[in-house]
Amino acid sequence: MRVVTLISGRGSNLRALLEARRPGGALAGQPVEFACVISNRADAAGLAIAAEHGIATEVVDHRQHPERAAFDRALAERIDAHRPDLVVLAGFMRILSPEFVRHYENRLINIHPALLPAFPGLDTHARALAAGVKLHGCTVHFVTAEVDAGPILVQAAVPVRADDDPARLAARVLVQEHRVYPLALRWLAQGRVRVDEHGVARVSADTGDADAALVSPSG
Ligand code: GAR
């Protein structure tokens, strides 16, 4: 499975994916090849992470393509040069046009820092705290034309603590992001994911302790 990863900044999810190839990691021994990392910002810290791991990098600067459609076309051209089976958004902070999304139908995935469909969009951790939810988390999903919607591959929940602030909550969610994104790639590489006729992603995964309830507050 040839993967092109798109980033805009820090790149901690990218790092988690690359490190998951190590012995004992979720991607160890899996047929996953990271062909290229593309950023829309030349100053994205994640580009150095890619380079450290010997992965090719490119920049497609959105400021050089003021119109979204033109940027998306330039981006797709660079992506397609690598003939990817999967395009992975890892903190890629641009909204993509319906044409772009359609071009990568069923091979474009994103990680979002909330339990979708709750809290699409930005500032998810502050909004979760303001809403008083007791569980928060992250979602890996296929990308569709609607922003932060699309068939859900995997989610992880964390308890919201009484003394949380957005930064503390974000840090706890991020640990789970780094855990579930490699899992999603593993299942895709193994051909264990299908989207059914209702648009629901079905994963034939080991159930593990999937029945264990996460209750918060725990009482
Ligand atoms: C992650 O928390 C990711 O879920 C979020 O941006 C962060 C990127 O961090 N993505 C979105 O909000 C997408 N709408 P990273 O660059 O360290 O992976």
pLDDT tens profile 24-40? 999 999 999 999 999 99
Statement: residue 209 has pLDDT above 70: no
Mean pLDDT of 110-139: 98
111, 169, 180: which to mutate for ligand 1, most atoms within 8 A of CB?
Answer: 111
Would the CA dihedral through 19, 195, 147, 169 be positive or negative? negative
Distance CA 15, CA 119 (A): 25
Distance CA 50, CA 210 (A): 33
Q: Per residue in 139-185, pLDDT tens?
A: 999 999 999 999 999 999 999 999 999 999 999 999 999 999 999 99
Distance CA 140, CA 4 (A): 16
Q: Which CATH superfamily is domain 110-219 in?
A: Formyl transferase, N-terminal domain (3.40.50.170)
Tell me whether the CATH fold assigned to 1-104 matches the one assigned to 110-219.
Answer: yes
pLDDT of residue 182: 97
> Which element (helix H / strand E) includes 156?
strand 152-159
112 has catalytic annotation: yes
Domain ranges, ordered by start, for the chain: 1-104, 110-219
Residue spans of alpha helices (H) in 57-198: 68-80, 98-103, 124-131, 166-189
Query: For the whole prediction, is pTM greater than 0.95?
Result: yes
> How many residues are there in the chain?
219
Would the CA dihedral through 145, 148, 151, 153 be positive or negative? positive
Per the DSSP assignment, residues forming a β-bridge with 7 are 39
Q: Please identify which of the residues 82, 103, 112, 141 carries the catalytic annotation.
A: 112
pLDDT-derived band of residue 218, with 50, 70 and 90 as boundaries?
confident
CATH no., domain 1-104 = 3.40.50.170
Of ligand 1's atoms, which has the minimum distance to the CA of residue 113? 4
Distance 145 CA to ligand 1 centre (A): 19
Measured from the CB, is residue 90 less than 6 Å from ligand 1?
yes
Per the DSSP assignment, residues forming a β-bridge with 156 are 138
Scanning the structure block, which residue is given the tokens 């159930």? Answer: 207
Cβ–Cβ < 8 Å for 177, 15:
no
pLDDT of residue 208: 63
Q: Which residues contact 53 (CB under 8 A, 6 or more apart)?
A: 18, 34
Measured from the CB, is residue 137 less than 6 Å from ligand 1?
no
Distance 12 CA to ligand 1 centre (A): 8
**Percent of the chain scored above 90 by pLDDT?**
92
Of ligand 1's atoms, which has the minimum distance to the CA of residue 138? 4
Of ligand 1's atoms, which has the minimum distance to the CA of residue 92? 13
Cβ neighbour number for residue 117 with a 10 Å cutoff = 12
